[in-house]
């Protein structure tokens, strides 16, 4: 049987499904985090959409890495996923152990495996451009590079890290790949402005494409004990409980990407597809279509439950109730069965503070 | 048995309990109108508070006039009310038939009865000042006048009618009573400003104190057929269904107060008690105390359900859900089990338009 034309031979999709999406509270909760939610009105959760996006590229060569508390919900929402396609973290250990474990598992299955790690809760448009970018990244990864897909910044965001883009690589099959000079953590706004202006910086969207072996080899330079632990679990899944909790909590950016960039081992392929991490309600509004009946308003959930006059912004009608907005510009109304949030576009970042206040005030039940 | 000191001999309290309070939607509904709601957080409905306010003045000499659809709820909320103390209108006919019917019924019970008509859905403070004003109005009414209590305007309201105040009457027991020169309908804002400035105008709060016989005698000058119909019903309650629906729909202001003022038959006693008709959510906010935990916010309903940061305005938590407001100034959030309304203080008058839209759009179920 030949592969469908879009499939990338030897490519494995890895989907870390974690993170609570605190700034999307009360839509997103600890028990039903962002990746399990349909935040685009597509009828599919962000996790399901991520799987649908990757399946044409990797067929059933998929690994979802998720926490113990969500594994049941993940399996229910992805009934076609094989037993071997879900890795369960006993506790959250940030992105490096999660992706590293996938690499260790894939390395045993296929010594030449190239993995692409894509967050379960981002929105990506234009499938064919996405496929082309991933295909280039895989070609570059086969050369031994750690490859990231960098997003062209559309505004001076201070909430994302940036990638400084260097010279072009001359690699067959990856004409758009460039060297990464360095990673920059979330910058101040004036720095962010200069990045947007200079054309040499891309957003770091946390997408990495790399040979499983390369990733572990790079990681072993700085965290050999972590690689040893991951390989031990891959070798004997029963060792998970013993090993996992002693692994360091560390992000892939700090653990590997930044030091590897300093060694000239990191490449970036500019992502020409629409991308959104749906990090807050302003971001959510931008991935929703404008209501046909209520100009200026984006509605998530049951359109027929929303009645609006002279209002703009975003309304989520997830509580089964009629939601009426009258004369409120840039409003954010999130109705859920037990909590309703009313705020403005300007304050969407501060939703996180509300969740922290609830958690510290003995109202974890609402978070 | 002697009367308690506050009781006013021969005084009868009349409470027209009607009106839907459309601008307080979705708190107020057709099936559970404003007067049946606790809008002050006192634990009592506005109707119950009105009865409690009048009972010391008139003991059990009370008449509640209400529509057929609300009579059951009225009786349930006022279990101590005698059977004879509720008059049921088969259909709404505005204030003149309602108060006129009470007058016709009371005239038969006590030819010297003085009635005071007080809307079931207003908020009045300072009981002892209230009692003094009513006592003066009764003394003036015993002289044959139609007496209104006029509210000192606190701002140039365009939503109320005004009373132009003339010379003082020299009546024993009513030192503050003045002649009413005329009634003025809701004025334009510049006219309202001049009224507030000149000190000769008071708001017409629709409170009337008058001998039952005087009211019917005055009314008979301009609407003799209405008086005949009302007396026929008072004489034989079984005639209600036959007579009522043919009575004209007319307000007491137009039917009697305005023409009687032209004859010099109307007096006004300035009301020195706090008064609010709770006509919209801005008005509602003004009768609620500021939250101790959330400065600038007024909360109706369960205080513990409201969580607010950097927000002012009014929140009604009647839906059993937690309501969170974040960074929204002058907001109005009304949460009920089936509808949530989000608007601003500036737009509270336009809530009425939303209700009309729902009624014309086939969503009477929500109104």
pLDDT of B89-136, one tens digit each? 999 999 999 999 999 999 999 999 999 999 999 999 999 999 999 999
Whole-number pLDDT of residue B19:
82
Structure confidence by residue, pLDDT tens digits, A47-83: 999 999 999 999 999 999 999 999 999 999 999 999 8
Pseudo-torsion of CA B83, B84, B90, B94, nearest 10°? -130
Nearest chain B residue to A352 by CA distance is B326
Cβ pair A339:B321 closer than 8 A:
yes
Size of interface A-B (CB pairs under 8 A): 109
Sequence-ordered list of residues with C-beta below 8 angstroms from that of A317, at least 6 positions apart, any chain: A299, A300, A301, A302, A303, A305, A306, A323, A335
Q: List residues bridging with A16 in a β-sheet.
A: A65
Predicted pLDDT of residue A5: 64
Per-residue confidence band for B6, with pLDDT thresholds at 50, 70 and 90:
confident
Site from B326, B334, B351 to mutate, A interface, most A CB atoms within 10 angstroms: B326
Distance between B251 CA and the closest CA of chain A, angstroms: 31
- The residue ranges of every structural domain in chain B are 11-276, 288-366
- The torsion angles phi and psi of A340, rounded to 5 degrees, stand at -125, 130
Over range B179-192, report the average pLDDT. Answer: 96
* A323/B307 touch (CB, cutoff 8 Å), yes or no: no
Interface touch B344/A328, C-beta < 8 Å: yes
Contact B327 A343 (CB under 8 A): yes
Cβ distance A323 to B340 less than 8 Å, yes or no, reads yes
Predicted confidence (pLDDT) per residue in B56-86, tens digit: 999 999 999 999 999 999 999 999 999 899 9
Which of B326, B337, B347 is the closest to A327 by Cβ? Answer: B347
pLDDT tens, residue by residue, B338-362: 999 999 999 999 999 999 999 999 9
Closest CA of chain B from A276, distance in Å: 24
**Mean of pLDDT over chain B:** 95
Is residue B46 predicted with pLDDT exceeding 90? yes
Using CB atoms, which residue from B327, B351, B358 is nearest to A326?
Answer: B351
Question: With bands split at pLDDT 50, 70 and 90, how would you rate the model's confidence at A90?
Answer: very high
pLDDT tens for B235-249 read 999 999 999 999 999
Residue B308: enclosing H or E segment and its boundaries?
A: strand B306-309
Cα B50-B55-B60 angle, rounded to 5 deg: 120
For residue A309, the chain B residue with the least C-alpha distance is: B354
Extract the tokens encoding B185. 């309908």
Is the pLDDT at A163 greater than 60? The verdict is yes
Q: Tens of pLDDT along A302-335? A: 999 999 999 999 999 999 999 999 999 999 999 9
Residue A4: pLDDT band with limits 50, 70, 90? low
Question: Is there a contact between A347 and B327 if contact means CB atoms under 8 Å apart?
Answer: yes
Q: What angle do CA B119, B346, B354 make, to 5 degrees?
A: 70
Fold of B11-276: Spore Coat Polysaccharide Biosynthesis Protein SpsA; Chain A (3.90.550)
Q: What is the ipTM of this complex?
A: 0.89
**Which residue does chain A place closest to B357, by CA atoms?**
A307
- Is the N-terminal amide bond of B324 cis, ω within 30° of 0? no
Token pair listed for A75:
């399996």
**Local structure of B326: helix, strand or coil:** strand
Higher pLDDT, A41 or B270: B270
Q: What is the pTM of this model?
A: 0.89
pLDDT band of A1, cuts 50, 70, 90: very low
pLDDT digit string, tens, across residues B321-330:
999 999 999 9
- The answer to whether A234 touches A243, Cβ cutoff 8 Å, is no
Cβ–Cβ < 8 Å for A65, A87: yes
pLDDT bracket for residue A19 (50, 70, 90):
confident
- The 3 state secondary structure assigned to chain A is CCCCCCCCCCEEEEEEECCCCHHHCCCCCCCCCHHHCCCCCCCCCHHHHHHHHHHHHHCCCEEEEEEHHHHHHHHHHCCCCCHHHEEEECCCCCHHHHHHHHHHHHHHHCCCCEEEECCCCCEECCHHHHHHHHHHHHHHHCCCCEEEEEECCCCCCCCCCEEEEEEECCCCCCCCCEEEEEEECCCCHHHHHHHHHHCCEEEEEEEEEEEHHHHHHHHHHHCHHHHHHHHHHHHCHHHHHHHHCCCCCCCHHHHHHHHHHHCCCEEEEEECCCEECCCCHHHHHHHCCECCCCCCEEEEECHHHEEEECCCEEEEECCCCEEEEECCCCEEEEECCCEEEEEEHHHHHHHHHHHHHHHHCCCHHHC
pLDDT at position B4, please?
A: 57
Contact residues for B72 (Cβ-Cβ < 8 A; gap 6+): none
Q: Which residue of A has its CA nearest to B361?
A: A307
Judge whether residue A2 has pLDDT over 60.
no
pLDDT in tens, B265-296: 999 999 999 999 999 999 999 999 999 899 89
Interface test with A, best of B294, B312, B317, B327 (most A CBs within 10 A): B327
Looking at the complex, report in whole angstroms how far the Cα of residue B341 sits from the nearest Cα belonging to chain A.
5
Q: In sequence order, what are the residues at sequence separation of 6 or more whose Cβ sits closer than 8 angstroms to the Cβ of residue B79?
A: none
Cα within 13 Å of Cα(B254), Cβ side: 8
Asked if pLDDT for residue A31 goes beyond 80, the answer is yes
- State how far the Cα of A37 lies from the Cα of A120, in Å rounded to an integer: 11
Q: In what order do the strands lie in the sheet with B331-335?
A: A306-309, A322-326, B339-344, B331-335, B313-317, B297-301
Give B27-91 as a DSSP string.
Answer: TS-SSS-GGGS--SSSSS-HHHHHHHHHHHHHTT-EEEEEEGGGHHHHHHH-TTS-GGGEEEESS
Distance between CA atoms of residues B314 and B335, nearest Å: 11
How far is the C-alpha of A86 from the C-alpha of A74, rounded, in Å? 9
């Amino acid at each position: 049987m030949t592969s469908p034309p879009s499939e990338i031979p030897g490519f494995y999709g890895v989907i870390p499904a974690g993170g609570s999406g605190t700034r999307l509270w009360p839509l997103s909760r600890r028990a039903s985090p962002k990746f399990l939610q349909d935040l685009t009105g597509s009828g599919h959760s962000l996790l399901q959409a991520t799987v649908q996006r990757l399946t044409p590229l990797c067929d059933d060569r998929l690994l979802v890495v998720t926490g113990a508390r969500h594994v049941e919900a993940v399996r229910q929402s992805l009934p076609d996923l094989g037993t071997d396609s879900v890795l369960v973290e006993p506790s959250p250990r940030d992105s490096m152990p999660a992706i590293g474990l996938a690499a260790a598992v894939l390395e045993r299955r296929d010594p030449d495996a190239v993995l692409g790690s894509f967050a379960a809760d981002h929105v990506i448009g234009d499938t064919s451009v996405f496929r082309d970018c991933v295909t280039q990244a895989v070609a570059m990864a086969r050369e031994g590079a750690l490859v990231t897909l960098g997003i062209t910044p559309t505004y001076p965001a201070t909430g994302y890290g940036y990638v400084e883009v260097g010279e072009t690589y001359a690699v067959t099959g990856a004409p758009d790949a460039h060297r990464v000079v360095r990673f920059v953590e979330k910058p101040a706004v004036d720095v962010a402005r200069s990045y947007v202006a200079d054309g040499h910086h891309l957003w770091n969207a946390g997408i990495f494409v790399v040979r499983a072996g390369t990733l572990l080899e790079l990681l072993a330079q700085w965290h050999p004990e972590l690689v040893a632990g991951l390989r031990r679990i891959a070798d004997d899944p029963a060792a998970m409980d013993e090993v996992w909790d002693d692994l360091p909590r560390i992000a892939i950016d700090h653990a590997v990407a930044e030091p590897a960039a300093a060694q000239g081992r990191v490449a970036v392929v500019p992502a020409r597809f629409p991308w959104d991490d749906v990090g807050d309600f302003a971001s959510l509004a931008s991935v929703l279509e404008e209501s046909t009946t209520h100009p200026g308003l984006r509605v998530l959930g049951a359109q027929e439950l929303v009645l609006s006059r002279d209002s703009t912004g975003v309304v989520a009608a997830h509580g089964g109730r009629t939601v009426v907005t009258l004369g409120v510009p840039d409003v954010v109304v999130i109705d859920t069965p037990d909590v309703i949030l009313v705020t403005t576009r300007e304050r969407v970042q501060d939703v996180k503070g509300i969740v922290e206040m609830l958690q510290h005030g003995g109202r974890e039940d609402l978070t």
